[in-house]
Structure 1
Amino acid sequence: MTPTLQTSDLHGFFTRLKIQTIPMLGIFKPTCPVDAETKAWIERRFDWLTQEFGFHHLTSRETMLPTADFLPLEYDCTEDGIYELMKRVANRMDVDHSLLDLNFYEDNAIGLDGAVSPASAGLYAEKDGRYQIWLEVNCLDDPGGVIATLAHEIGHVVLLGQKRIEPDTDDQEELTDLLVVFNGLGVFAANASLHETNIHGSGYSAWSVGKRGYLSMHAIGYALALYSLARGLARPDWLKHLRPDAKAYVSRGIRYVTKVQDCSYRPAIERCG
């Protein structure tokens, strides 16, 4: 004979089911796109940048995007064309472009075995009271990537050249990447953080996918999340200009901070909390 369930039995069954399934909801809790150490560093340094440059500096400026308003419709990959890009980036970062010298170099990224080794995209130096900005000639095809590199190297002018940090600051390169985000150029940094390279020469051809910059795409994504939330935007329009993987990290960071409220950079919570 088939057993039957009484109403009281059904009530007990669903009560037990509820008790057992509630803890499982924790698997849907938003997670941060970076590890705890990186998260703490980004929040601490973003707060330092806010104290150094002012909250108004962060919130009052338009976010620079890969559109005709900031990026030429036809990219002129010549010294004159790139110099014009450098002037735009310098103006955005409050640096007098007349103090900058634009130079180019070639970083040999091919080893004797034909393997591709990491190559730098730009360099910075000070000489005779002027700031030397160097760009690697094999990294000039993508205008967005050029802007990201220019922003990083000009960031050195802001931090090192203007004596805001010491030359031996341990995290100066990572902080310079973070400054790019703080100044509204983070979309370019995120899109350029992972790049493909094709190199051809006499007797060889090579292709590689490599990281550009000092912060990972995950870290730039979380930094952009703080940037957006501090500006009062939980759904920024500029997300559509990000490459899909970078967009996912930014969205994940925004969701984490707004839902979990675990962030030591208080403006990100207070403006969208």
Structure 2
Amino acid sequence: MPAGLFGAKRFLDADIEDWHIETWRTLLDRFAEEMPLAETPVALPTRDFFPPSDATGHARAEHVFACVKDIMGLSDNWPCELEAQPRRFTGERVSEFVSITGGDEPNGTFRVEPDGRVVITYAPDLLDDPINLVATLAHELAHYLLAGQADLVEDETHELMTDLTVAFTGLGVFGANSAFSFEQYGDAFSQGWRSRGAGYLSPRSWAFALAVFGELRGDDGGMGAHLKPEIENLRRQAVKYLRKNPDRLAVLRG
């Protein structure tokens, strides 16, 4: 745990932790009236939030997109279109000795067309990775929510703020679980583990964001059972830290 030279220990580096608190205050000031935190659901990967569907392909993405919009409170008066990006090739072997390594194509994008239409895109391969698909769609919808706040859009920490907005709107479990992961791989020539990350906040920052969300909401919604063990361990540490240092959230409780 980072520690100040002369002050109390912090869960995050002091400047990062202060940014978290200040950003939470900004989000509460701008959106809490229409999106009261006490009424914000803790979205989990369950049927309650994502009812089963027989849809496949883009229709399945549309189904998930509608669920995410509903959770975030963006179903009404927030029109937007969902488009699939061109298929990307990531580490696919096309012959015995040739494989294709993908570039830095994003998982999703947000844009406003000249005619005012809002378009969100997603990478089709995410259909095989539902947690990452939800996290991606939530991140792009968070861009939409922030788009009307010119000063926030122009802020140099905008992408980090967008991730924090995902936590603010109740989908932090998905953002945190997709932030960093290890997966095993193997083929005729090699085997081992590779890392894969999504989003902009670090796992430790996600844990802190989830702890703040749960403490301000007054209930963590049972999120711990659905978080990766390493994230849940960090979140519990963050909750303990916040309860030991109530002054950290005092400015957000007024």
State the TM-score, normalizing by the size of structure 1: 0.74
Alpha-carbon spacing, 1:205–1:129, altered in 2? closer, same or farther (3 Å): farther
Residue equivalent to 1:14: none
Q: What per-residue deviation string (whole Å, max 9, x for no partner) do you get for residues 71-100 of structure 1?
A: 244675510111011112122323346432
Whole-Å separation in 1 of the counterparts to 2:190 and 2:100 = 7
Q: What is the identity, as a one-letter code, of the residue corresponding to 1:248?
A: N
Residues 179-258 of structure 1: pairs in structure 2 closer than 5 A: 179-196=165-182, 208-233=194-219, 236-258=221-243
Q: Deviation of residue 130 (structure 1)?
A: 1.1
Whole-Å separation in 2 of the counterparts to 1:265 and 1:172 = 24
Alpha-carbon spacing, 1:190–1:151, altered in 2? closer, same or farther (3 Å): same
Equivalent pair of 1:33/1:249 in contact (CA under 8 Å): no
Unaligned runs of 5+ in 1: 1-29
Residues 70-109 of structure 1: pairs in structure 2 closer than 5 A: 70-73=49-52, 76-95=55-74, 96=77, 98-109=79-90
Alpha-carbon spacing, 1:259–1:236, altered in 2? closer, same or farther (3 Å): farther
RMSD between aligned alpha carbons? 3.3
Q: Which has the higher contact order (CA 8 A, sep 6+)?
A: 1
Secondary structure at the counterpart of residue 195 of structure 1: strand
How many residue pairs get aligned? The number is: 237
Residue equivalent to 2:18: 40
Equivalent pair of 1:33/1:219 in contact (CA under 8 Å): no
State the TM-score, normalizing by the size of structure 2: 0.79
Equivalent pair of 1:224/1:250 in contact (CA under 8 Å): yes
Q: Deviation of residue 140 (structure 1)?
A: 2.5
Q: Which moved more, 1:214-223 or 1:187-196?
A: 187-196
Structure whose CA Rg is larger: 1
Whole-Å separation in 2 of the counterparts to 1:136 and 1:116 = 12
Equivalent pair of 1:47/1:265 in contact (CA under 8 Å): no
Residue equivalent to 1:135: 122
Q: Which moved more, 1:65-74 or 1:177-186?
A: 65-74
Unaligned runs of 5+ in 2: 1-7, 93-97
Q: Deviation of residue 33 (structure 1)?
A: 3.9
Equivalent pair of 1:239/1:247 in contact (CA under 8 Å): yes
Equivalent pair of 1:31/1:256 in contact (CA under 8 Å): no
